[in-house]
Structure 1
Amino acid sequence: MTSPAQAQPHGAPQEEQARGAFSSRRVFILAAIGSAVGLGNIWRFPYVAYENGGGAFLIPYLVALLVAGLPFLLLDYGIGHRYRGSAPLSFRRMGGATAETLGWWQVGICAVIAIYYAVIIAWAVRYTFFSIDKTWGADPDAFFFGDFLEMASPGIGLDFVGGVLWPLILVWAAVLVIVVAGVEKGIGAVSVVFIPLLVVAFLALVIRSLFLPGAAEGLDALFTPNWDALTDAGVWAAAFGQIFFSLSVGFGIMITYASYVGRRTDMTGSGLVVGLANSSFELLAGIGVFAALGFMAQANGVAVDEVATSGIGLAFVAFPAIISEAPAGAFIGVLFFGSLVVAGLTSLVSVIEVVISAVRDKLDLSRAAASLAVGVPAAAVSVLLFATTTGLPILDTADHFINRFGILLVAVVAMLAVSWVYRDLDHLRDHLNATGSLPLGTWWLVLVGVVTPAALTYVLVDELRAVLDEPYGGYPDWLVNGIGWGAAGGVLVLAVVLARMPWKRTVDLSAPSKEASR
């Protein structure tokens, strides 16, 4: 007797219709760009470039893009497009139950990221409105950490912060509406509107920043090359790390999105567009941010290196100080924080979609049921942890450890497994070449199977050495061990457990033939 799985092979039209799909290659590209372009592009790249050789950093950055970023992006595309499933289902079809663990490892990482990423967007929502009347007053630093976040010092404080709680609930409500609407009507429609809006808003911000007094000094600080930096292995490691983190590769997002794309779509050409668009936005962010920092330095009579910073400090302390002093500061503030909201929201949607897609495939749930089953608990944990007076230290620690010792590690393991354990790399190359405009040859096999994992292993070991030498951020052991290592290790343990749960969905779990997958 024919089983349902045998009667309905994976990738069948009816299965794909049930999962959802992007209506066109253009929508897929915009959604992929929306995932790649996030908060890190705006507040991380400029400072990383500045600290690692300025203009000279562009050389290792471009090398990293070509030999690591784009090849890995195409690997993710190949896995999702060939195996037509979420990360766990795609890996299961590639290498069986053991390989499925890799997919759930990526899903767990995405779940952790989604829980804390949402609160940064909530902060940006509030600061968009704060920009209008410069609510932070004369001391943006004291306002952010004291008045706004109400940080508990010393000790642990889990009291709710009303100014964070309500915008955080609003962010999660918006995300749930988008993911419940589906792949095309939700994720695709938002990407089609938000990505052009983001580009226009950020272009306006950059143009306005370029006309600020001192902008030239800021750009000179950013782009003046320090050629000696090219002999520093740490600079090259920083370039590979930046490319890797900014492209949203290695933790299931691009596998999931690629599974929603038509079978005859040009995936290699799409990957080239997404990779170059992401790097172009990073360069644009560097110009806008350092033009503004140049103004701030001149206004305060100090060197640019005294005001240059990254991350949360740049966004919620340095930029409010710039907005307070700059002509048309409110306009700059609305554009900057509005851009953070849009970039963050499209990235958050892509991260939570990885979890939803996996749950749908494993448990055979409808999109609405899976979205609520994933989104409501994630929102609850997000609120309970990060809308509190100790939210920022928990966020900072979880972000550092899950990025370095979650994403990096699973990426290296996945590349080596695909290349040397399951020996599927040549099949993925053939699959991508069948419809791709950028032919992949032996060079791609070497990059993905040897060069990229070697480079990322160096970055991983370097990060591990730094953390072992000194506790991250000077935080207490309970925070570093419980939140940091706990989050990084916990997702792996959970992945092993989930991979051993039976599949409720009636889909074929076997690998496709080379011809059937084209």
Structure 2
Amino acid sequence: MTTPSDAGAAAAAAGQREVFSSRRLFILSAIGSAVGLGNIWRFPYIAYENGGGAFIIPYLAALLTAGIPLLFLDYALGHKFRGSAPLAYRRLHRMVEPVGWWQVLVCFVIAVYYAVIIAWAIMYTGFSVTTAWGDDASAFFTGQFLQVSETVGIGFDYVAAVVWPLLAVWVLTIVIMVAGVNKGIARANSIFFPLLMVMFVILVVQSLFLPGAIDGLNAFFTPDWAALANPGVWAAAYGHTFFSLSVAFGIMVTYSSYLKRKTDLTGSGLVVAFSNGGFEILAGIGVFAALGFMAFTAGTSVADVAVPGIGLAFIGFPTIASAAPFGTLIGILFFGSLVFAGMASLVSILEVIIAAVEDKLGWGRVPATLVVSIPTALVSLALFPTTTGLYLLDVSDAFVNIFGILAGALVLVILVAWVLRSLPSLSHHLNLVSSLKMRRTWILLIAVLVPILLGYIMINEFIAKITTPYEGYPLDFLAVFGWGMAALLPVLAILLTFIPWSARSKLHNPEYEQHQAAFEEEAGQ
């Protein structure tokens, strides 16, 4: 008897596009991609800083009017045109192909620094057993562990404690990617995401019983209704939603291209979107319950200990683990959750690049994976496990998120909605197989609201970064690795479009034509 995974392998061997063997595996993979490090260390702080409990209103508004519509747009493009981001966009129209390569390059930049954060989390999972950070978690992180240089720049003094776990991350990732969509990505996500949920739920429950947890929850949930009158709060909600759902940088386009022809696209998208949102609320509860304990122990307020991002993860939580009952378990659960969340996201990010190379050059899975993964791993290992790696990571993340992801999304939406006017046909495609139908409202949201919001956020960020050098870093460092990298992405994307498509990966291959013919036949019935 032939199993679904055997059928997928046979299809790949026959030169056809591999597909997820079930909708459940696709949903797990999509949720695994969406639920990343930002859900754990970014959302709680953003909510707290932007109205507390009142932030739920703009957050839900952003999810319903921008996040989910963009997610459906990615699904429609990937599923209809059956390709990676560059191939799907090229099949839509020649002028959109550069946007696909822009997204591929964004994923490359993210992959090379994202992996090192997972390596840190691996080490801190072990450190939790002995509380190796001692009494000063901040000094340990930047000093004894990362040995951060006082000079901002690029150096090649390597930190062995980061090199080896980073190498392990890349070896595991490459093994997963070589195995393919079903035996690699889907199987890994079916392990990573359930483990993440179990560990994080235990962490949240444990945090709720810590002294001071109620104060932390009050700080997180107490609504500041006046904040709703601040445009910046709404911009923060929309900005976070664009990042949180993994939309507009190729991941969901690629994953949806692996779906079977008759798949409920919008129904699957709602499951992914609300699962991601639910996890973010859960993360907020766990993080602020723990911060409440931290404030209680220090005899200060929650506002004094609430910090975002890396500071929360690698300074705040170690401090909590040192003082809390069963602190070792808290540390292991928290950093273990970061490892699993990070691995699921890294796999999805790398798949965008691998799928693009497979499609463009017509290569098989193994050579495409090795040609993409090994150089990416080498760049990651060369630049980030060094005494200056933290500076490069910080700048790369700050600039690629705004001037990579959001800028690419804005260009894509303008091309699809206003230049090519393709939204009605994409809406029609979604409606052929989906339980929730996309009508004129969806088209208006994508064509009008989303570009306005993206433009507003980008202009504000541009002004802020031009007015004040980011984090006070040297201007030459920002010019090369911030502004320079952001400007280079679209230029390289255009150059990549001049590489000819291989005969094997024909722009009008039989699978794609059969897929479209089947839909046209159904539409006419």
Deviation at residue 508 of structure 1 after TM alignment: 3.9
- Between the aligned partners of 1:29 and 1:462, the Cα distance in structure 2 is 34
Deviation per CA, 1:381-437, whole angstroms, max 9, x where unpaired?
Answer: 001110111000000000000001110000011011111112211111111110101
The match for 2:229 is 231
Q: Give ranges in structure 2 of 5+ residues lacking alignment.
A: 1-10, 521-525
The match for 1:101 is 98
Deviation per CA, 1:304-353, whole angstroms, max 9, x where unpaired?
Answer: 00000110000000110000000000000000000000000000000010
Deviation per CA, 1:246-287, whole angstroms, max 9, x where unpaired?
Answer: 100000000000000000010100000000000000000000
Verify: 1:60 aligned to 2:58, yes or no: yes
Q: Describe the shift of the 1:323–1:497 C-alpha distance in structure 2 as closer, same or farther (beyond 3 A).
A: same
- Between the aligned partners of 2:256 and 2:13, the Cα distance in structure 1 is 15
* Match among 476, 496, 500 for residue 502 of structure 1: 500
Verify: 1:189 aligned to 2:191, yes or no: no
Deviation at residue 491 of structure 1 after TM alignment: 1.5
TM-score, length basis structure 2? 0.94
* Match among 413, 416, 421 for residue 414 of structure 2: 416
- Between the aligned partners of 2:48 and 2:422, the Cα distance in structure 1 is 39
The match for 2:382 is 384
Instruction: Map 1:251-400; keep pairs closer than 5 Å.
Output: 251-400=249-398
- Between the aligned partners of 2:369 and 2:483, the Cα distance in structure 1 is 28
Deviation at residue 366 of structure 1 after TM alignment: 1.0
Q: Describe the shift of the 1:206–1:141 C-alpha distance in structure 2 as closer, same or farther (beyond 3 A).
A: same
The match for 1:21 is 19
The match for 1:485 is 483
Deviation at residue 514 of structure 1 after TM alignment: 6.0
Deviation at residue 507 of structure 1 after TM alignment: 3.7
- Between the aligned partners of 1:61 and 1:463, the Cα distance in structure 2 is 20
Query: Percent same amino acid at aligned positions?
Result: 56
The match for 2:465 is 467
- Between the aligned partners of 1:423 and 1:14, the Cα distance in structure 2 is 34
Deviation at residue 517 of structure 1 after TM alignment: 4.5
Deviation at residue 18 of structure 1 after TM alignment: 3.7
Paired residues of 2:192 and 2:343 also in contact (CA < 8 A): no
Paired residues of 2:152 and 2:473 also in contact (CA < 8 A): no
Paired residues of 2:152 and 2:391 also in contact (CA < 8 A): no
* Match among 182, 196, 199 for residue 197 of structure 2: 199
- Poorly superposed stretches of 4+, deviation over 3 Å: 13-19, 510-518
Paired residues of 1:83 and 1:517 also in contact (CA < 8 A): no
Paired residues of 1:140 and 1:321 also in contact (CA < 8 A): yes
RMSD over aligned CA atoms reads 1.5
The one-letter code sitting in structure 2 at the alignment partner of 1:108 is L
- Between the aligned partners of 2:443 and 2:13, the Cα distance in structure 1 is 31
The match for 1:35 is 33
Deviation at residue 516 of structure 1 after TM alignment: 4.3
- Between the aligned partners of 1:341 and 1:234, the Cα distance in structure 2 is 32
The one-letter code sitting in structure 1 at the alignment partner of 2:199 is A
The match for 2:216 is 218
The match for 2:134 is 137
TM-score, length basis structure 1? 0.96
Q: Describe the shift of the 1:90–1:227 C-alpha distance in structure 2 as closer, same or farther (beyond 3 A).
A: same
Deviation at residue 486 of structure 1 after TM alignment: 1.9
The match for 1:82 is 80
Deviation per CA, 1:154-181, whole angstroms, max 9, x where unpaired?
Answer: 3543201100000000000010000000
Deviation per CA, 1:166-211, whole angstroms, max 9, x where unpaired?
Answer: 0000000010000000000000001111111111110000000000
The one-letter code sitting in structure 2 at the alignment partner of 1:116 is Y
Verify: 1:440 aligned to 2:426, yes or no: no
